[in-house]
Chain A
């Protein structure tokens, strides 16, 4: 992991002090609500339906056990609503049928951050100080600024990696942090980096997507995409540079963001993302960026050209950690013992195949701990679970974990000889569901139970589908599939990129759900990034699980041998699925009454 310098560390503390200053002025009435809002947002503090929400940054998903322990402390001591607040929430959501709202709980997000839903604003500055004690913060996790850079959860360990993206992600973290010119952009701005052949970072869906690659001379550079995004107008990023030398990355992004800051629309927030500017201006935008980049380099002198020494300094942090007390084992012997254990324990066998990933170091494996299980929302971890997780991370992964885009936690440095022991411990903690990349490994936003923007609840839908699909044989038979659920068109649950997408919509004040098929995040499994297509008018909440089942049953009846859901949808088109979904509709109430 990146090792914070004294400068980095002090900076986070100063930011916490600045936030306390702002909070105090707001409490004293010296800062109005409107003036305070953008300031608290840029520290991760929203005010949601019933209570504030805090989003803590986990830069490019890398998190240390000591940080997980502090997140556990925040969950335990601060994610606790006052009785009246909680009662109002339970009463309000109870009208819709919600019977459970998690508290004392952290939530892993698709942008690899961590959210809390109940911390009172009056305690917010104390929480920021506590977070700063382990280099954590909420800097630019919200607001119209450059957000946390994300990357592949397997960065630095993936067997298909071309270049390790982490040093570049860290360099970008530093460059974007409190950038004076780009704190009040027309709209939010998200950057994702992939360094592997398989794009596991959904780069096409970001404002800027970066692919690390090597040219014919073996030099490292970036393929640069600009103008991707979800929301009301889903757009896949456009290639703006085929090969940008690695050391120019900050100069070039400065040009991209400056042209956007100057020309992006500010009259309509639904048209303010860079995707709209790129779409409307087309080649003109690209020409403007290239000219601005030329002037940054030739006139300004390219001050943010990254020196080799700085890359080396940062990259030196990202080395394989020492795994204490574990001797290397001959690979053949490792394989033999894993096979023997798998033969004896079918659950371990499934987990090995589903949750354990190959590693650049033949001695090691990367392991996904699944936070998708019945009874808890996707990506939720209680305070106790976070403590137990931190213990596992210390014991099995050299103190380092990754928050994944799919709302799980990955341990990147597990010795193969210890997989069985890890599986047993994870199983006891309920973190060993062997469902990674299967239907129940779904992405879901917090939805209407928490979010003030949501049109409908996401979590009860997620829970209903999870409950229905608990048979691992059935899940395995359905195979690899991305199910993504968003409670509104803002698309935090990435419904656009789901092979099956579910979108909450509001009709006459009631919750309805649109279902889309064939969306892709751009990974090898999913095909080129594209938004899914709607399969008919929206469905009621109670219909959704039946519609999903009908769609999956249709897939199983018409698939070719070995064909994934996504491939089948592409081959046969939407019609059979539309028919199936239609026939899964429930009779309308009036019809029932007259029947």
Chain B
């Protein structure tokens, strides 16, 4: 997952058809994706989890292959969740130390559920479930 500082992120320009921003309350299943290389999903507050479902639907249900980017109130403690639901890049909120980010990805070698990256749950991945 690509972690960006806010100065490294350009919001989609008006009229840009390759990069689009999807509103937090919009239907991810209705977004036209032809020619779209990047979809920005927004966290108005990190406790507003709607964009997790949007990302999951884009990546998993619709098989979207482009960049799905988390913007807004992005903290390092949600990065692993973001990756698992289909985000491929995230713009950290100003003042967040990216040095603390990497070890969050290293902590859990596996999870119980299937997700957008590994669709199979743990009990299927590892039949012995040990």
A residues at B contact (CB < 8 Å): 5-7, 10-11, 14, 17-18, 21-22, 25, 30, 35, 38-39, 144, 174-175, 177-185, 258, 261-262, 266, 295, 299-301, 303-304, 307, 309-310, 313
Contact = CB atoms under 8 A, between A and B. Distances in A.
Given A7-B129, A178-B112, A184-B46, 8 more contacts: A11-B112, A18-B108, A21-B103, A30-B100, A35-B75, A174-B112, A261-B49, A304-B121
Nearest to A15: B108
A488 B130 CA distance: 44
B52 A175 contact: no
Given A7-B130, A14-B107, A184-B46, A177 B112 contact: yes
B23 to A, nearest CB: 12
Contact of A266 (B48, B52, B97, B103): B48
Contacts of B84: 180
A179 B113 CA distance: 7
A334 B129 CA distance: 42
Given A5-B129, A35-B46, A144-B47, A175 B77 contact: no
A175 B122 CA distance: 10
B127 A304 contact: no
Interface of B: 46-50, 52-53, 56, 60-61, 75, 77, 80-82, 84-85, 97, 100, 103-104, 107-115, 119-124, 126-127, 129-130
Contact of A307 (B75, B97, B108, B123): B123
B107 A303 contact: no
B61 A300 contact: yes
A346 B82 CA distance: 62
A252 to B, nearest CB: 15
Nearest to A7: B130
A184 B78 CA distance: 10
Contacts of B104: 18, 21
A38 B48 CA distance: 11
B100 A181 contact: no
Contacts of A30: 97, 100
Nearest to B81: A180
A177 B115 CA distance: 13
Given A5-B129, A184-B48, A300 B119 contact: yes
Contacts of B110: 7
A183 B107 contact: no
A482 to B, nearest CB: 35
B121 to A, nearest CB: 6
A301 B124 CA distance: 14
B80 to A, nearest CB: 7
Contacts of B127: 309
B61 A299 contact: yes
A484 B120 CA distance: 44
Contact of B49 (A10, A17, A184): A184
Contacts of A185: 49
Given A185-B49, A303-B120, A175 B61 contact: no
Nearest to A25: B100
A181 B100 CA distance: 22
6 contacts: A6-B130, A7-B130, A18-B107, A25-B100, A180-B113, A258-B53
Best-buried of A17, A35, A307 by chain B (most CB within 10 Å): A35
A377 B85 CA distance: 44
Q: Which 8 A-B pairs have the closest CB atoms?
A: A184-B49, A180-B84, A180-B81, A174-B112, A303-B114, A310-B123, A181-B52, A5-B130
A262 B129 contact: no
Contacts of A17: 107
B81 A7 contact: no
Contacts of B109: 10
A6 B97 CA distance: 33
Nearest to A185: B49
Contacts of A18: 104, 107-108
A35 B43 CA distance: 14
Which of B46, B53, B127 neighbours the largest number of chain A CB atoms within 10 Å of its CB? Answer: B53
Contact of B111 (A180, A262, A303): A180
Contacts of B80: 180
A461 to B, nearest CB: 34
Given A18-B107, A178-B111, A307-B124, A183 B49 contact: yes
Nearest to B99: A30
A301 B49 contact: no
A10 B110 CA distance: 10
A7 B113 contact: no
Contacts of A301: 119
B119 to A, nearest CB: 5
A38 B43 CA distance: 15
A38 B81 CA distance: 15
B93 to A, nearest CB: 9
A272 B80 CA distance: 26
A262 B52 CA distance: 9
Contacts of A5: 129-130
A295 B129 contact: no
A3 to B, nearest CB: 11
Nearest to B112: A174
A39 B79 CA distance: 13
Contacts of B123: 174, 307, 310, 313
A276 to B, nearest CB: 16
Contacts of B81: 180-181, 183
Contacts of B50: 261-262, 266
A296 to B, nearest CB: 9
A266 B80 CA distance: 23
Given A6-B130, A180-B115, A300-B61, A174 B49 contact: no
B129 A310 contact: yes
Contacts of A175: 112-113, 121
Contacts of A181: 49, 52-53, 56, 81, 85, 115
B77 to A, nearest CB: 6
B60 A300 contact: yes
Nearest to A37: B47
Contacts of B75: 35
Given A11-B108, A261-B53, A301-B119, A184 B47 contact: yes
Nearest to A5: B130
Contact of A303 (B49, B85, B119): B119
